[in-house]
Amino acid sequence: MQFIQGLLAVAYEHPFIFWLDPDYVDKLPEYMKLIFNNVLNFLSEVEQKTKEQPYIIFHIKKELKRLVRGFLDEAKWSYEEHEPTMEEYMKVAIITIGGIMYPVMFFTGMGGLATEEVFQWVASLPKTIEAAAVITRIMDDLAPSKVYF
């Protein structure tokens, strides 16, 4: 529980995490610097490879921020011992299962074939993406957390 409290405190004290600003890495706790630097390196590499389509890195960053906010919502619920309604839970759960991030990354791999309209379509959470995310989330939630042999 102390780790979650610390994570929430860091997230609220250091909102630059949501803006992915490399100038603030030194202000992070040591245990977060490695992860933060790896994310920044990944984003820099993608940005270099998609110079011709600047909308791609924009959408990756946007969905990464949404993903992290979702993780923080779940951590906050756990810390506060809040039991969300099914509707409240699924709104966040389809994000944290990667329901939007995975399609964004999939289309990123397609390079110039994926237009800005495709990324906007994914970000709008159309029914096909939402349904796939809901099914994936429920399957993940129902799966046992331990493997029994």
Identify the structural domains of the chain with CATH numbers, from first to last: 2-142 (1.10.600.10)
Tokens describing residue 85: 């309604």
| Predicted local confidence at residue 96, as pLDDT | 93
Q: How many CB atoms lie within 10 A of CB 140?
A: 11
| Predicted local confidence at residue 130, as pLDDT | 95
- Euclidean distance between CA atoms 101 and 31, whole angstroms: 24
| Predicted local confidence at residue 81, as pLDDT | 92
Tokens describing residue 102: 């995975």
| Predicted local confidence at residue 111, as pLDDT | 76
| Predicted local confidence at residue 16, as pLDDT | 54
**pTM (two decimals):** 0.81
- Euclidean distance between CA atoms 29 and 13, whole angstroms: 11
- Euclidean distance between CA atoms 115 and 60, whole angstroms: 14
The rounded average pLDDT for each run of 10 residues, N- to C-terminus, in the chain (149 residues) is 58 60 76 82 91 92 87 87 95 93 92 89 95 93 74
